[in-house]
Amino acid sequence: MIKPISFSLPLFCCLILISSGSVYSQLEGKIAEGLELSEDEGIPVIIKHLPDWETKRNEAVFIRNEIELLRALGEKPVFSAVDFIADTEAVTANYPEGTLLIVEYGTPQASVDTDKNIKQLLADSPQTPPVFYRRIGNYSVFLFDGKNEAAANALFNKIKYEKVVRWLSYDPFAQKRAEQVFIRETRDLFIATVLWIILGLLIAMTLGVISGLLFYQFRQRKRTGLDAFSDGGGLTRLNLDNLTPDIAPGNFLED
C-alpha cells in the first residue's frame, strides 16, 4: 500500500512564497532590461532628451503604457493613433509654450507607421485647441495647448534624436541621403576649388607687386649712384643736354 505524501501548511506556504518571488524576479528583470537608464543620473534616458531637461527632470512624467499616458495627460483624440508596442516609452513635461510629449519607438518602422497614422488623423480631424506635431528620428513629438506654430517649432528644434537608427530591411531613405551627400560634397569641392584659385591669384599678385617694388628700389639705388647718364655707351657725343661732364683740357693729346 502506497502511503500518501503529506505536506505541512508552513512548508506549503514557504514554497508558494519562493515561487512567487522567483516569478517576480523574472518579471522585474524583464522590465529592467527594457528600460534604458542613464548611468550618471540613474533616470530614463528619454528624460534627458527633453529641452532644458536639467530643470525639468524632477517634474517630468515617465510613461510606459496607455494607462499611464491617459493618467498623465487625460483623454485626447490623437492618442488613438499612438500605440504603445514593445520597447515604446514616453515622457511629458510642461513648458511656457505648452505641454510637451515625446513618444519613443524602438524601431524606425514603428515610428514611420505611427507617424502616418497621426498625420492622417490630424488631417481628417483637426484638433481644438490645435495639436502641434513633428516626427524627430524615432520620436513622435506633440505639443498640447500651444500658443502658436512658431513657438512650437522653436521648442521642437531643441529636441535632438541622438540614437543610431538601424532598419531591419532596406533603408528607404538611403538613396535620398546618398543624393544629399553627393550634392554636399560637390558643393564643397566647387567652393574649395574657387577659393584655391582666388587664393592663388592673390598670392601671385602679391608676390608680383613685392618683386616689382624690390626691383624698382634696386634700380633706383643703382641709378642714384651714377654720376651721369649717357646713352652713347661711352662714345664721343654732342653734349646737347648738358648731362655729359666737360672734358678737362689737360686730357687732350699734345701735338
Confidence at residue 19, expressed as pLDDT on a 0 to 100 scale: 43
Q: Which is more confidently placed, 220 or 194?
A: 194
Residue 37: C-alpha distances to residues 70, 119, 172 (Å): 23, 31, 31
- Using only C-alpha atoms, the chain has a radius of gyration, in whole angstroms, of 43
Q: Can you give the pLDDT at residue 203? A: 95
CA 99 and chain centroid, separation: 25
Q: Report yes or no: 101 and 142 within 8 Å, Cβ to Cβ.
A: yes
Q: What is the distance between the alpha carbons of residues 52 and 234, in angstroms, rounded to a whole number?
A: 90
Helix (H, G, I), strand (E, B) or coil at 99: strand
Q: How far apart are CA 157 and CA 169, in angstroms?
A: 29
Q: Which helix (H) or strand (E) holds 135?
A: strand 132-136
How many CB atoms neighbour CB 251 within 10 A? 6
Mean per-residue pLDDT, 81-106 = 90
Which positions ≥6 away from 107 have C-beta within 8 Å?
87, 138, 168
| Of 105, 128, 131, residue with least CA distance to 118 | 131
Q: What pLDDT, on the 0 to 100 scale, is given for residue 195?
A: 95
Chain mean pLDDT for the chain: 78
* pLDDT score at 44: 84
Q: What percent of the chain has pLDDT over 70?
A: 69
pLDDT-based confidence at 48, cuts 50/70/90?
Answer: confident
Length of the chain: 255
Mention every residue, 6+ apart, whose C-beta is less than 8 A from residue 230. 237, 243, 244
**Among 5-14, 161-170, 171-180, the range of highest mean pLDDT:** 171-180
What is the structure's pLDDT at 31?
37
The pLDDT value recorded for residue 160 is 82
Is the predicted pLDDT of residue 5 greater than 70, yes or no? no
Q: Which of 41, 80, 85, 43 is closest to 61 using CA atoms?
A: 43
What residues pair up with 101 in beta bridges, in sequence order? 92, 142
Give the model's pLDDT for residue 27: 33
The string of pLDDT tens digits covering residues 99-148 is 999 999 988 888 899 999 999 998 888 877 889 999 998 899 999 988 88
